Amino acid sequence: MALRPTWTSRSRTRGKILDAIRASRTISRVELAAATGLTGATISELVRELIDDGLVVEAGRGAPTGGKPRTLVQLDPRARYSVGVQMERNVCVIVIVDLAGRPVARTSFRGVASMPPDQALPMIASQVDALLAMAAVDRDRVLGAGLVSYGPQDRRAGVLLSPQPSEPWLEYPVAERLAQSLGLPVLLDNDAAAAAIGEYWMGAVDRRSTYGCIYMASGIGGGVVVAGDVYRGSSSNSVELGHMSIDVNGDPCPCGNVGCLENYAGPSALVRQAAAMPALAERLVPDPDSADFLTEFARIAAAADAGDPDARHLIERSARYLGAAAVTMTLLFDVDAIILAGPSFAKAGSVYQTVIQEEVDRRTAAWRTHPVRVAPSVNGPDAAAIGAAALVLQSELTHGRTQTGRGPGSHARPVAAVADD
């Protein structure tokens, strides 16, 4: 069963200070007081505690401002680490990130999706162990692991609510099982939500921003972040962009909806569309029935990026459909940026970015009171895995989940954890 550790107002305040230090890279105590609205005494006391715990180090003196020179503090990026695990349709990506959110090790492998969870999860755990060993990361400094996937979830219970990738995964306690195998707390979350928060953790968006993320891997997902917190809704199953209808007269989807975005703009739809164009199909889609449609899609995207007009037509049309979703996201969530994340934006990212920006500019002109920037994720194709690790850092450190005084020796509990809202 997933446990929900208690947290206190004090640790939340501590998290706020840590988040401000992280965001500004180096900062003085006086600037911290100004940035957080906390008193100098509170800042001094909690910065001292963060230094004692090894999370923060002093980093020289600030530029002279006439008075006493100010001592700067910064995160020690090697003080803590977290693990991000992304389960995609036919690949599993694992990253280890440091306290600054930077990946220090990465691996990916196939085959997990075809296994039942009671085999797959221990195998993932052994891959995490191997990666930690390879990166020479002290296990006592690892805060936990974030496991992200697609489809509906019960995030608090740590179970998937759809039979994906296969029937035995439905309602299997994935977070708890991985936590047992790893001996680390594990939180379960949505891959697109993770990709969205990773952007915040890396400082790529303003801390007060409301922004959206369109995540495209084998399918299409979405996430919205409001001032550093993932928009959750009533059960954390929000922003299901891939199954949003863009055509009220469109074809029915197995999900129950009609005209779902994913069936117009997603990789498998593009491969289907390409297979129906004989000249293009001959060149780029040798095996349209291949289960590995992502390889075929990557080939089309690369051809589009290299100037193949047929391939470009398909990718541009896919981008217009995604643009429609970006417009809806703008009108409903009032975002000021839309981040494009995930491996399926890797090959023709600039085409997607240009077209989606055009659609948003043209189609929301009457409503927007501010510009909406469309930009690629700073975390590249691994955005979901890196974001999964960032969710752990956020949950354990800045949302007040940290055990004061916890350091090497006080080992993480081998139970599933739950990110707070």
Which residues of the shown chain bind its own copies in the complex (CB under 8 A)?
152, 154, 161-162, 209-210, 222, 226, 231-241, 243-249, 254-259, 264, 320-321, 324, 327-329, 331-336, 362-370
Q: What is the number of other CB atoms lying within 10 angstroms of the CB of residue 376?
A: 17
- Closer by beta carbon to its own copies, 80 or else 243: 243
Nearest CB to its own copies, comparing residues 37 and 278: 37
Cα diameter, the chain: 75
Taking the complex as a whole, how short is the minimal distance between the CB of residue 333 and its own copies, in angstroms? 5
Residue closer to its own copies, measured from CB, 81 or 211 = 211
State both tokens at 4: 């929900």
* Distance of closest approach, residue 218 Cβ to its own copies, in angstroms: 17
Closest by alpha carbon to 185, among 124, 149, 142? 142
Of the two residues 15 and 185, which places its CB atom closer to its own copies in the complex?
15
CB 186 within 8 A of CB 417: yes
Q: Quick check: 161 and 150 in contact, CB under 8 A?
A: no
Listed in sequence order, the residues at least 6 apart from 278 whose beta carbon sits closer than 8 Å to its beta carbon are none
Q: Which CB, 240 or 382, lies closer to its own copies?
A: 240
Q: Are 44 and 29 in contact (CB under 8 A)?
A: yes
Least distance CB 235 / its own copies (angstroms): 5
Asked whether 120 and 178 are in contact (CB, 8 A), the reply is no
User: What minimum distance in Å lies between the beta carbon of 390 and its own copies?
Assistant: 21
CA nearest neighbour of 29 among 64, 73, 76, 77: 73
Q: Which is nearer to its own copies, 333 or 352 (CB)?
A: 333
246 or 412: whose CB is closer to its own copies?
246
Cα angle: 100, vertex 92, 98; to 5 degrees = 10
CB of 419 to its own copies, least distance (A): 16
**Contact between 149 and 158 (Cβ < 8 Å):** no
To its own copies, the closest distance from the beta carbon of 221 in angstroms equals 11
> Could you tell me the smallest distance in angstroms from the CB atom of residue 241 to its own copies?
7
What 3-state DSSP class applies to 194?
A: helix
**Min CB(171)–its own copies separation in Å:** 11
Query: How far apart, in Å, are the Cα atoms of 216 and each of 8, 210, 322, 387, 400?
Result: 37, 20, 10, 14, 31
Would you say 44 or 210 has its CB closer to its own copies? 210
- Least Å distance between CB 364 and its own copies? 7
What is the chain's alpha carbon radius of gyration, rounded to the nearest angstrom?
Answer: 22
Residue showing tokens 């590995």: 292
Count of CB atoms within 10 A of residue 314's CB? Answer: 24
> Which residues have C-beta within 8 Å of that of residue 295, sequence separation ≥ 6?
none
Nearer to its own copies, 244 or 415 (CB): 244
